[in-house]
Every structure is written in C-alpha cells, then in structure tokens.
Amino acid sequence: CDVKAFCCGPVHALVMAGALVSSGLYRQVAVVGGCSLAKLGMKFQGHLQHDQPILEDILASVAVLVGEDDGTSPVLRLDSVGRHTVGAGSSQQAIFEQLISVPLENLGLGFQDIDKYATELHNPEVTEPAGSGDVPKLNYRLIGALAVRHQEIEREALTDFVEVHGMPGFSPTQGHIASAVPFLGHAVERMMDGRMNRAMFLAKGSLFLGRMTQMSDGLSFILEANPSK
C-alpha cells in the first residue's frame, strides 16, 4: 500500500510492520528508508543562504527488522498507538495530546513512566545555523509543558523533566530520517541490558509537504522491554 506520511513515515512504517506481523500475515517485515541528493540539497540550501559552510554532506539511511515475539526482544505496543486525527485540531498542543496523553491514558501510565521520548532528533549544530532552531529541545519542552498541564510535574521541574526524559538531537536532518527512529537501536540495546523499560517514539509532519493542504500528520508508539525477559 502507499502511505503518504512524509516526515512521519518511519513511525507509520514501523506500526504497519508490527500490525502485519501481529496479524500473522508475515513473520518478519523489514522497514527500510533513506535520503536523496535532492533532499540533501534542500537542507544545505539554508546554510548557503546564511553564508554558512555546508555542514551536512552525507546520505542517511535506516533499516529495522520487525519480527514475532521471541520472548527477549522489546515489544512494540500496538494497543497504545497515538494518532493525530483530523478532528483533533492542528495546534501543537492538540497534536501532542493525541500522540502522547491519549496513548498514556489508555495504558494507565503517566508522563514519567516513559524513560525516554524520541521525537524529531535533528542535530541542532546543523539546524541552528540554517535558522531552524533546536527542534528536539523545543519538542521536549512542549512535552514537559503537557506534563505540567496534566499536573504530573510542577512547572519548576520542567527543565529537569526535559533533561531526564529527552535527549540532544544527534541525527542527520534529512526529512523522515530524523523522525524518532535514530534512537530505536539505542532503546533496544538499553532494554535488552535492563537499563530501560519504556520509550515512546513520536513524529509529526505536514501532509504533502504543505503543498496541497496545511493539514498535519502524526503518529506515535511505545516500545517496551519484553515482559518475559
């Protein structure tokens, strides 16, 4: 099938892969994606416009193998997928409510029950000179503000929440590549080692790159340490 997800594509693909495996239709599904020279050019155009050297000169790619529960590997929780529906509204608060608050409530979890939130992980050393700011930091502050709004943390604890449950942006900034999935391998490793219990992966983006509609897209899922391990 053809899913127009753009910057949210990797999260859509992983959820679809999990659904295909969980349904028994396939035993294993590979999620594979990468960048293009055209997209790379779009990214370094911002640097050239600001008389900056080209800071990103690589073509990034990602591959994830989703398989049946082996009793050891982390589990993708399909019962807590967050979806940004049309009726939810397009404000940042509305999007984050649908992608974070609703899935957590469905599982009876709080914001601090998620060890790490993986969102748009663009490297700020690349985005700030181009004028796009520190995207991960902004998103983590929005998540923290949502926790404050739900009275799960005090406003004074917002910075500490971001420090504990967020992470610095470290990913190449090429469209969908930076959307949460760069942390997936690290999360799996930590869960296998017993250093992490849950991580939430969330991504959002415009449909058709804002060309035909201003509506936005968003999806999230929770990855959890295998309860049998």
Structural domain boundaries in the chain: 6-224
β-partners of residue 118 are 201
The Cα–Cα gap between 157 and 3 comes to: 39
Tell me, what's the pLDDT at 54? 83
The Cα–Cα gap between 17 and 67 comes to: 9
Tell me, what's the pLDDT at 48? 85
Tell me, what's the pLDDT at 171? 92
Tell me, what's the pLDDT at 164? 98
CA distances from 62 to 24, 130, 141 (A): 25, 24, 27
Tell me, what's the pLDDT at 7? 80
The Cα–Cα gap between 25 and 1 comes to: 15
Q: ∠26-197-185 over CA atoms, to 5°? A: 55
Here the tokens at position 129 are 């000179």
Here the tokens at position 172 are 């190449």
Mean pLDDT per 10-residue section of the chain, whose length is 229 residues = 74 95 96 83 81 84 95 96 84 90 96 97 88 91 96 96 97 86 96 97 76 77 93
Tell me, what's the pLDDT at 9? 87
Tell me, what's the pLDDT at 49? 84
β-partners of residue 83 are 219
Q: What number of CA atoms fall less than 13 Å from residue 112's CA on the CB side? A: 12
Tell me, what's the pLDDT at 207? 65
Instruction: Report the 10 Å Cβ neighbour count for 149.
Output: 14
Q: In the CATH scheme, what is the code of domain 6-224?
A: 3.40.47.40
The Cα–Cα gap between 68 and 25 comes to: 11
Q: Which of 169, 172, 174 is nearest to 40 (CA)?
A: 174
